[in-house]
Amino acid sequence: MTQSRCAAHPADQAVDTCSRCGNFLCLGCVLKLDGRVYCGECVKRVATEKQPASKLSSWALGLSGLGLLAACIAPFAVASLLGLILGIVVLRQVSQGLVASDGRARAIAAVVAGALGLVAGGISGAYFYFSRLP
Ligand SMILES: [Zn+2]
Ligand SMILES: [Zn+2]
């Protein structure tokens, strides 16, 4: 480590490594985001990648949660279906490396909650339907 040189400035000694690409970084190249160390290129990529994944996965989880709540009181599974689809979209984007993986847990939760909401919606829908039959 003591012999390592900055990838961008070979004259300067490296003090840290980028947590994304692993490049050696001198003191002037170290950038921090959410407590992690990145190089200049990676901090840009992480900052731009992070937003859409987090937002989309939050929407997916919100819709799934809403759908699950709604399905318990009324046969209304549209939000669950949307949340389920959004969750799957986020998971596919994460697996393809298109977006940061920080939204992954939320996307999985959204898929599970969406599926549960659909089942609950289906059960309560069937209950409402059959209870109205003469
Ligand atoms: Zn980097
Ligand atoms: Zn440097």
- Total-model pTM: 0.45
Q: Considering every ligand atom shown, identify the ligand nearest to the alpha carbon of residue 7 and give its number.
A: 2
> 27-38 pLDDT, tens per residue?
999 999 888 999
Q: Which two tokens stand for residue 82?
A: 């949307």
Which residues surround the ion ligand 2 when the cut-off is CB under 5 Å? 6, 8-9, 26, 29
Answer yes or no: CATH 2.40.50.140 is held by domain 1-49: no
pLDDT of residue 1: 46
Given a cut of 50, the residues of the chain with pLDDT beneath it are: 1
pLDDT of residue 128: 74
pLDDT of residue 10: 93
Domain with CATH 2.10.110.10 in the chain: 1-49
Mean of all residue pLDDT scores within the chain: 79
Q: Considering every ligand atom shown, identify the ligand nearest to the alpha carbon of residue 30 and give its number.
A: 2
